[in-house]
Every structure is written in C-alpha cells, then in structure tokens.
Structure 1
Amino acid sequence: MYQNILVINLMQIGDLMLTTPVLGALRQAYPQAQLTLLADTRWRELVEENPHLDACLFMDKKGADKGLAKLWQFIHKVRALKFDLVINLHRNERASAVAAFSGAKYIVGYSKPLFSLLFDKTMQNPSIAHHIGWGPGGVFPPHHYVPGWEHQVHAHLNVLRKFLGIEPEDDGLEMALSEENQQTADKLWQEHFTEEDKVIAFNIGASWETKRWPDNYFAKCADKLLEQGYKIAFFGGPMDLTIVQKCISQMQYKDSEALHIFTGKVSLAVLAGLLRRCCLFLTTDSGPMHIGVAMNLPVITMFGASPVPGFYPYDGRSVLLKSPEKCHPCGIHQCPRTGAENLACMKNIPMAAVMHFAEELLAKFQGQPAYKLPPHKGDYQCRVIDLSKGEF
C-alpha cells in the first residue's frame, strides 16, 4: 500500500485538466495516502482546490525554475519529500527527469528514452500523436502522421490499471473553486447579467493557428444568437484580445448591450466560475474547452488539425464537428497550404452546422445554466459529427 504519492503533469491547461480523473481514482484506491500533484505554477488555480489532493507542488518552468541548474535544485526538493510512488503523466524531458531522479520506490508512467531506464514501468501514451519520417530536409509536413487513438483520460487511467493493478473509477473532469474566486465570479456575473439571462460563452482563441475557426464565422454565430435573445460572453486570455476585437468588429450587433467581453480580464478560476453559469460554450480545441467540461457546460467545438480520439471534450452531451478535409488531422501548427486552401480544414466546417447543433442543445437543455444541469457520470463520449461523411 502506497502512503506518499506524487502525480506529475507539467504541461498546458488542457493536459492538466485531463489529469484530474486520475486524482479521484487514486484517492478512492488509496484513501489514507498523502497525494501530491506537481504542475506548472501558471495553472495552479486549476488544481489547488482539488478535494482529492493533500498538497501541490508548482514548478515555475519559465521563471524561477528555468534552466538545468534550477531543474536539478527542484529535483532535490522532490527527493526530500520521500515519495514511495511517482506517476508521470506526460512524456517530456523535464517531467521525465523529475520522475526518474525523484528517489521514489516505484516510478511509472510515460518517459523519454534514457530517463526510462530509471523508471520501474513505462508505457507509450496512446493519446499522443507520432511523426514517422519527415519531408524533404526534415521539415513539415511529416511523411507520416499517426494521431493518438485513445482519449488522454483513458490512457492515464490505464497507467493505473496496468502498473498499480487497480480498476479506477472515472468521475470525469473536475475543478473546484475557492470561496474567494467563486464570490468574485458571482459578483462579476451580477454586474453584467440578471438571473433570467441565458448566456452563451465564446472562446475563439487557441494555441495553434490551425485550431482556430474563422473569426468571421464566430461573428455571424454571435449575431444570430443575439437575434434569438441570448446574451454573448467572449472569453480568452490576453493573447486573444486582438482576434476577439477583430471578430467583434465584423459583427452586425457589435454595439449591443447583450454583448459582454471578458477576454483578458479574468483569471482561470474566475473563468470557471462564470462558465458554470452559462448555458452553452462555442469553443475551439483549447484549455478553456476542458474547463467548460469540468464546469458541466455543454460544448460545441470544431476540430481541424487536432486529432479527435485523444482530446475530444470529455462530455457525452457535447458536440464536436470534425473537418471534412482529407488532411485532417495533421497536427501542424501553421497550415502549409496557400491561397484559398490555407486553413481549409477550419474554413470548411460550415457555420450552418455549428448553429444547427447550438440550437439543438439550447432546445434540449432549455437554456439552463450549467450548474443546474444534472450530473451524468460515465457519459463522457461526445457526439462526433464527421463532415466528410455527410453527417450534416
């Protein structure tokens, strides 16, 4: 029986959110253990209130803990905590090094080569894409791109099955808020909306250009929903301000009092507190998409470059529109196609399809806010609309 457990995921918002089912499963399997999570300090609000955790460690990868010498100092800090089980849930060099040199009695999960020699058990992460061979000169596009074939949550839970011999319960994505952050979100909501308002959230930014649905499509959807009496709330981080402003400039109702802009103005925790009061989320494949799922908010998302099996919204009520382009999924951050064919994967996801499913979900759930919707444990396979097969 393990008494002191460390789970590692030092990646981005979405990756960290997709780790949360593991925390609940470990708490159920080892109720008396000290359970700690190591994450990037930028995303501490996502996990620091998680009810399954006893402690968090945060690494400032881009600041105080940057560089090889600082990494080694951080590893010494981890070693001093004398973990008897370390589970690494992302195969990158930094996380692999922390796990490998943690001094734990049992080290399992994903690992880069060489570091894996110090793990007790490793496995391939079947949710992550692989590039086999490269184009001329070793540049993109890859000769052969193999997308992940299993959802990241399932892959992580299989680590527990395979290496710990437990049958983990899957409670889906989770995010808890501090009382202070919830109160901040509630106050902000009251300043912008009434209790009767039906608010649809928009997140139009994404880390890759190839994950972004055209901003003029979002603009037209926002106009149509405003015409139907809904309120619109734009979210996103400071890096999304320019594209949000461009999107809104193309709207017919850009000066409407029913249009509210929170882009760059709220923390991740306050974002979560606001999303739980919305009734639908139109979003790209992004970190906020997974936060919306954790807040019980039905999602409509569009996947162009992104592989569907590994990262679809983990919610059976949500809808994913899959690009009809033959090059989907490419996993490329910038589209190599030129002219009218540039970003065709996203351009060819029609606005009419997004509006059809938006109106379907709004009718189904009667525009209720996410926090009033019933739980749906075990129902995590979203509805995938394959536009290449004429499913719309």
Structure 2
Amino acid sequence: MKILIILPNWLGDAVMATPAIELLASYYPNAKFTFIGSYASIEAIKNHPLCEKAIVDETKKASSRVLATFKLARELGEFNLAISFRNHFYSSLLLRFTKTVICIAKKSWHSMFLLSHTPKISSNQHLAKQYAKLAMTDVESWDNTTPELKLYIEQEIFKKPTLGINAGATYGSAKRWYPERFAEVASEFSNKFDIIIFGGPNEVEMANEIEQNLKASQVRNYLNLAGKTTIKELCANIAGCSLFITNDSGPMHVAAAYQVPTVSIFGPTKHKETSQWMNKKSKIVRHELDCAPCMKRECPLGHHDCMKGITASEVIEAVKKLGT
C-alpha cells in the first residue's frame, strides 16, 4: 500500500499530523509512506519506520512552479492513496499530477476542482483531530479516536534532570513571552535542574539575552544551544528534558510527543486548537482578554497585553503544580 503524504510546513503542525500518520499505519498494515514537505517537517518525520522516501519540496524555487510540480509528480509516480495536510493549491496540483485515484485534502476551491475526496472539516477542534479526520476520510471502520503524537527520533539521555527553555516562536513576535521572564523562571529552578536554552537560527539574540540574565543571577549550570542544533538534535535534546517551559511553538509539540512535563505560555493563538495534544503532564498559562486570540504575527494594537500581563510567578506556580 503506497501512500503519499504532503506534510504541513511548520514543525509543530507536522508533529501534530503524526497521530494521523499512525492511524494510516494501523488501518493499512502494509503501508509504505512517501513524505513531501518543508525541510523542518521532513527532518522531523523522515525517521518513521514505514518511510520509503522523504523529499523536501523545493518547487517554489523554480522559475515555473507548475512545471516543477508536474516534474516532481512524474518522478514520484502513482500511489494507492495520496493525502495533503496542506491546504494549498500546489499541494492539490501535485496530488492530481501523480494520477493517483484516491486523493484527499481539506475542502477548498482548488481541492474540490482537482481531487477525489475533499471533506469539510471544522477548524473548531484540535489540529491533531483535524488531521486525523482528514486521514481517515476513506476508512469507514475508524472509531473516531486520535492517538498520541509520535516521533521516531531517539531521545538524548542527560546525566542530571534538565529544564528546557524555549523562548522562540517562528510564526511571529506576538507569540513570544519575554527573555528576562524566562530567565527568572529558569533561575528559580536552577538548583534542581540543569538548564538548556533552545532556539532556532533567528532566535539566537533572544537566547543570548536569557543567558545574560542567568549570568546576572549567578546561575552557571546552563547550556545555550540556540542556533546550534539540527532538527534531529533539537528533538532528541527536548525529548531528554525532565521539564520544558515554552511559548506556543514547534518545540512545544516535540515535547508533547515525548510526554515531557511542560508549561506552555499562550497569548494570541487558540489554545484549544494548538495546545499540547494528549500530554499527560502539561499546563497552559494564559490570560482571557477581549482581543485574544487575535492570531496575528505581531500585536495589532501595539500593547501585547496577552503576553505582557503574564508574570514569571504565574509560570513558576504552574511548574510547581506539575509536581516535577
């Protein structure tokens, strides 16, 4: 059973698609997956034991994306089943060009025109559930359950209990709590945990600010890995943490995949749709405001109250309630 899957672009969304992938693996026991997606999503998902091929989609770099999409589809060939977790015209076009008979994508003007199965799926539910419903469109016997997140990257083993700090959020500044407050929380627990500061290449400055604040608090048992890890190393290191404190971000979902006790700080995003899926030890810190969730990359009102109002003491209290 050859199955083509177009992954979501964002790391966190790709991780939230893993329950759907596991459902496909369970309902089609002879499944062999071909994954297509962004570099981040491919690096996170390509270790799946049923993965035959993993391809980074670079068609947008071509002078003619339509032609590049056609050529990629012809290289891939036909599948028994093809699913796109991206609601994008070129994703629908790629599925169509493979000449696969059963092609599934969320209902949109382009998917309805190009593909065989285009279910209307409500966005008013967790994204992991949305992806699961999409994957199970053609499976009548599905019992409507959605399993836990699942990654196949081996976790790092640390010598001491380790607290991971993730102050970044690739989507935009509105999702980011403040470095000095992350540092205050980390300092509070530095006698119990070694500390790792995480961050992507564009989040090094923020991570360095956390580091400077830790130094000022006489904290020395930390490691700043911002901008220094591959996606695989990022996932492995997060998986090895005993506690994780983070914004709503891709690394937050990685932590959930490994059931790492986590406190997540939410501001402008919809916690009911993108909170940690089925992490047994997780807490959300957020404030109920009239202007939130706005889903904007930057605060449209200029005050950022959804994040500014959250204090370090609130996050510290949430950590204590986890009982780690």
TM normalised by structure 1 equals: 0.76
Q: 2-side partners of 1:204 and 1:39: how far apart?
A: 25
Superposition deviation, residue 360 in structure 1: 2.2
Deviations 1:130-173 (A, max 9, x none): xxxxxxxxxxxxxxxxxxx1011111111244433231653311
Provide the residue aligned with 1:156 in structure 2. 131
Q: 1-side partners of 2:181 and 2:31: how far apart?
A: 49
Provide the secondary structure at the position in 2 that maps to 1:320: strand
Provide the residue aligned with 1:144 in structure 2. none
Superposition deviation, residue 111 in structure 1: 4.8
Q: Given the alignment, which residue of 21, 24, 27 partners 1:23?
A: 21
Provide the residue aligned with 1:347 in structure 2. 308
Quickly say closer, same or farther: Cα 1:279–1:104, change in 2 above 3 A: same
Q: Given the alignment, which residue of 163, 167, 172 partners 1:204?
A: 167
1:359 aligns with 2:323: no
Q: Residue type matched to 1:12 in 2?
A: W
Quickly say closer, same or farther: Cα 1:10–1:97, change in 2 above 3 A: farther
Task: Give the conservation status (yes or no) of the 8 Å contact 1:23–1:53.
Answer: no
Provide the secondary structure at the position in 2 that maps to 1:121: coil
Provide the secondary structure at the position in 1 that maps to 2:321: helix
Structure 1 residues not aligned, in runs of 5+: 128-148, 190-194, 366-392
> What is the 5 A alignment of 1:198-277?
198-207=161-170, 208-226=172-190, 228-251=191-214, 253=216, 256-277=219-240
Superposition deviation, residue 276 in structure 1: 2.3
Provide the secondary structure at the position in 2 that maps to 1:157: helix
Q: 1-side partners of 2:244 and 2:60: how far apart?
A: 31
Structure 2 residues not aligned, in runs of 5+: none
Provide the residue aligned with 1:288 in structure 2. 251
Q: 2-side partners of 1:41 and 1:249: how far apart?
A: 31
Q: Residue type matched to 1:334 in 2?
A: E
Q: 2-side partners of 1:249 and 1:61: how far apart?
A: 41
Provide the secondary structure at the position in 2 that maps to 1:54: strand
Task: Give the conservation status (yes or no) of the 8 Å contact 1:100–1:115.
Answer: no
Greater displacement, 13-22 / 95-104? 95-104
Superposition deviation, residue 354 in structure 1: 0.8
Provide the residue aligned with 1:376 in structure 2. none
Q: Given the alignment, which residue of 70, 73, 82 partners 2:71?
A: 73
Provide the residue aligned with 1:174 in structure 2. 150
Q: 2-side partners of 1:297 and 1:347: how far apart?
A: 26
The alignment's C-alpha RMSD in Å is: 2.2
> What is the 5 A alignment of 1:1-392?
3-60=1-58, 63=61, 67-78=65-76, 80=77, 82-127=78-123, 149-167=124-142, 170-177=146-153, 185=156, 189=158, 195=159, 197-207=160-170, 208-226=172-190, 228-251=191-214, 253=216, 256-314=219-277, 315-338=279-302, 342-361=303-322, 364-365=323-324
Task: Give the conservation status (yes or no) of the 8 Å contact 1:212–1:284.
Answer: yes
Provide the residue aligned with 1:134 in structure 2. none
Q: What is the aligned residue count?
A: 321
Q: Residue type matched to 1:83 in 2?
A: F
Provide the secondary structure at the position in 1 that maps to 2:195: strand
TM normalised by structure 2 equals: 0.91
Task: Give the conservation status (yes or no) of the 8 Å contact 1:324–1:349.
Answer: no
Deviations 1:99-118 (A, max 9, x none): 23321111112154134212
